[in-house]
Structure 1
Amino acid sequence: MSKTMRNILISVGVLVILVFIIVGSVGGKYNSFVSLEQSVNKAESDIDTQLQRRSDLIPNLVATVQGYATQEKEIFTEIADARAKLGGASTIEDKANADSELSSALSRLLVVVENYPDLKSNENFKDLTVALEGTENRINIARQDYNTVVETYNTTVRKFPNSIFAGMFGFQQKDYYKASEGAKEVPKVDFTK
């Protein structure tokens, strides 16, 4: 074998090795983005699961309270409307806003309960409020987990040189789960109606 032929084979071999390294690196980056994006999707789904659990508990709680507080129809309507909005929400922002409305209506419902001592001592009501409280804690943890995963994903997608590959493959930043503006205000309860 001639020296020229040997140099060509060595050059081709080095080129093939470089191509494999580059393809492996790009493939690894892509797979990393996919894994992180799936973690975000799972965390969002976990929030949805907990919101659904709460939504399933609410009719039982409302039915129990209605037996005692028939004159509080406005609150029951607000809860039903907020549940419907939550069920129809498609984006994380819509879910956060509907979740905030539902939480506010539930807070007002629980304030109304204070006027009915017999209701507060009802075993069914106690069980439902404990289940609801546990669900609220789960929702809060699911929101925190979601935001943690989104932070990791967004940081990875935005860092150089990842941002180049993320842009090539169409990986975009995800929105954080944020409370709606109204969630910062204390719900107003008016018993004069």
Structure 2
Amino acid sequence: MLQNLIAIIAIAVGIVLWVRATQRKLVILDENLRNAMSQIGVQLSSRFDALMQLLDLTKDYSRDDIEILIETIQSRRTVITAKSTADDVICQEGLISEALLKIEMVTEQYPGLKTSPNYIKTMDAVQTFDNMVRTSRLIYNDSVAKLNQEIRMFPVSMIAGVLGFRKRDYLDDQGTKAGISSIKRVA
């Protein structure tokens, strides 16, 4: 009887230790994912700042259209944080792409704007931040893959939901493709 009790206690302790170790591993993977999303937020914020500088430069050429666009961006822009979702990022990238397309239309009408040193410098900054966002997206998707794989594997899959961990969505590449092609066409 005593041996059975010791065996049951040993099994219970083993299960508790396994659950604790699994929870710790999932927390680390989740924190890596949150950090990656925060980095996307930082890069998008920098990209928005460069975009606003670009809009200020084009304001002299097409004041009415650009002022409406600036107001639209300011009202629809949200800050991407660690708790943001893939949809939030895609929405913000769509807003940037929309603005870049509008800027492209203005630069087609005013060729002098394209050759302006300030315009070229600011457009280079936008492109640099776009590359940084793309890199941050890769890191985020890698973090999502690691967390999702861990959650889906047996026996972790049995307790992941109970511990509050869920499968996350990847950032597809559709949002950045439109922005990149706009930058290349404008530059």
Give 1:109 deviation, angstroms. 0.4
Partner of 1:190: none
- Aligned 8 A contact 2:77 2:92 in 1: yes
Asked if the contact 1:33/1:171 (under 8 Å) is kept, the reply is yes
CA distance in 2, matches of 1:75, 1:113: 12
Deviation per CA, 1:93-152: give whole Å up to 9, x if none. 133123213212213303421332332232222211111110011111212221221122
Map 1:14-33; keep pairs closer than 5 Å.
14-33=7-26
Alignment correspondent of 1:70 = 62
The structure-2 alpha-carbon separation of the partners of 1:84 and 1:99, relative to structure 1 and needing over 3 Å to count, comes to farther
2: CA distance, partners of 1:70 / 1:50: 28
1:83–1:98 Cα contact (<8 Å) kept: no
Range moving further from structure 2, 105-114 or 42-51: 105-114
Partner of 1:4: none
Deviations 1:43-64 (A, max 9, x none): 1111111110011122221111
TM-score (structure 2 length as normaliser):
0.79
TM-score normalised by the chain length of structure 1:
0.77
Q: Report the counterpart of residue 3 of structure 1 in structure 2.
A: none
Q: Secondary structure at the match of 1:169?
A: coil
The answer to whether the 8 Å contact 1:61/1:129 transfers is: yes
- Map of 1:168 onto structure 2: 162
Q: CA deviation at 1:12?
A: 5.1
Distance in 1, Cα, partners of 2:149 & 2:166: 11
Q: Does 1:60 align with 2:53?
A: yes
Identity %: 26
Letter in 1 for 2:62: T
Unaligned runs of 5+ in 2: 183-187
For residues 51 and 17 of structure 2, the distance between their equivalents in structure 1, rounded to whole angstroms, comes to 51
- Which residue is 1:191 aligned to? none
Is 2:93 the counterpart of 1:99?
yes
Equivalents in 2 of 1:91, 1:82: separation in Å? Answer: 19
Distance of 1:136 and 1:15 partners within structure 2: 57
Question: Residues of 2 paired with 1:166 and 1:94: CA distance?
Answer: 25
In the alignment, what sits opposite 1:39? 32
Task: Find the counterpart in structure 2 of residue 117 from structure 1.
Answer: 111
The SS at the match of 1:176 is: coil
Count of paired positions: 176
The aligned residue for residue 75 of structure 2 is 84
Q: Which runs of 5+ in 1 are unaligned?
A: 1-6, 188-193
